[in-house]
Amino acid sequence: MTGTISGIKRNAVHDGEGLRTTVFFKGCPLRCVWCHNPESIAFGRSLGFYPEKCLSCGSCQTVCSRQAVRMENGIPVTDRERCSGCFGCTEMCPGDARIGYGEVWEADALAEKLAQDKPFFDNSGGGVTLSGGECLSQPGFACALAGALTEKQIRVNVDTCGYTTRTVLDSILPFTDTFLYDLKAIDREVHRKCTGRDNDCILDNLRYLTDQGAEIEIRYPLVPGWNQGECGRIGAFLAGLSRKHKVKVLGYHSLADGKYRALGMTDTLPPVQATLSDVEEAVRILQGYGLHAVNGMKDD
Ligand code: SF4
Ligand code: SF4
């Protein structure tokens, strides 16, 4: 079983317990305006160009067989309509200014590579986190990878937006140590405005996983002006589930704007920042519902 990923991050400390390696899957069904991983949104291959690293050597223009690159005043300009995503130019680029997002891996081979860090996982209580994008948008690959890691006695976290089917959840559940479950809004219109999608299946799936006894940590990305007013509704919803979960409030910042430019995408990031007091206030509100809420801007 093969799948496409946009990257691998070793020594991650915010994607679950202990020292972890996070695998970023390509493709996401949502379009969150505040997405910090725009390179993972598209299911196909994406080319990034970081002009600050460019040495103006022109190799990318020379190597591109599709004539998708032209030099303008020493800066390569890529015609993304022509670009096939072959990534030939990324291999030639001496400045690492051109980065290809979209490596295809076979699940067993990727598990083998990830297992090289097993001693660090074992010593720290960590493991591998499947993230994205939305890792469950490639369900066969996610399950094959999680299964192969489980066979190697490596614990797997699944970082998900919850926009998937119950069949997929049933398939990944036996291999999942903890779900890191994003909850962005309860109000359907607010959710649609923030992500482009309704949240019915997201809420249903969270109820379902809770009833199945899954280990879940809720992630609430707090974005002032977008979903800050959802905090009380989120608290009430979570308090009504059959079990209470830990909730981590993540304060938003807009530091990913360079990535949007690099990918030739429209930057949708709201130009706002959640302050420490915004997050602390949200934590207090959630705690008022009897929840174990923590400030994701601080170590917990
Ligand atoms: S990825 Fe391939 S097609 Fe696209 S600009 Fe680079 S060499 Fe040309
Ligand atoms: S190959 Fe890399 S360094 Fe050379 S012009 Fe192209 S982007 Fe710039």
Place of tokens 């599709």: 66
Taking the CA of 93 as reference, the closest ligand is 2
Q: Which ligand is nearest to the CA of 94?
A: 2
Question: How many whole angstroms from 64 Cα to the centroid of ligand 2?
Answer: 12
User: What's the pLDDT score for residue 261?
Assistant: 93
Domain covering 2-43+103-295, topology: TIM Barrel (3.20.20)
End-to-end distance of the chain based on CA atoms, in angstroms? Answer: 37
- The residue assigned the tokens 């690099």 is 262
Please tell me the distance from the alpha carbon of residue 60 to that of residue 121, in angstroms, as a whole number.
Answer: 39
State yes or no: cis peptide before 235, omega within 30 of 0: no
What pLDDT, in 10s, does the model give residues 45-80? 999 999 999 999 999 999 999 999 999 999 999 999
Give me the residue spans of the domains in the chain: 2-43+103-295, 46-101
In whole angstroms, what is the distance from residue 295 CA to residue 205 CA? 25
Asked if residue 126 lies in contact with residue 20, where contact means CB atoms within 8 angstroms, the answer is yes
Which residue in the block uniquely carries the two structure tokens 């174990």? 292
DSSP annotation of 94 reads T
Residues 6+ apart with CB under 8 A from 193: 226
pLDDT of residue 277: 95
Tokens at 74, concatenated: 């020493």
What number of other Cβ atoms are within 10 A of residue 41's Cβ? 22
> What is the reported pLDDT for 299?
54
pLDDT of residue 184: 98
Is domain 46-101 given the CATH code 3.30.70.20 in the classification?
A: yes
Pocket test for ligand 2, best of 53, 60, 73, 92 (most atoms within 8 A of CB): 60
Contacts of 278-284 with C-beta under 8 Å, sequence gap 24+, read 278/222, 278/224, 278/228, 278/251, 279/222, 279/249, 279/250, 279/251, 281/231, 282/220, 282/222, 282/228, 282/231, 282/249, 283/249
Q: What does the alpha-carbon distance between residue 183 and residue 35 come to, in Å, rounded to a whole number?
A: 14
Pairing of strands 156-160, 127-131: parallel
Token pair in block for residue 147: 């299964």
Instruction: Verify whether ligand 1 is closer than 6 Å to residue 87 (CB atom).
Output: yes
Nearest atom of ligand 2 to the alpha carbon of 59: 1
Measured from the Cα of 69, ligand 2's closest atom is 6
Cβ 7 under 6 angstroms from ligand 1: no
pLDDT in tens, 108-117: 999 999 999 9
In the predicted model, residues of the chain with pLDDT beneath 50 are 300
User: Does residue 56 come out as left (phi exceeding 0), alpha (psi in the -120 to 50 range) or beta?
Assistant: left
The closest ligand to the CA of 95 turns out to be: 2
Listing DSSP states for 2-18 in one string gives EEEEEEEEEEESSSSSS
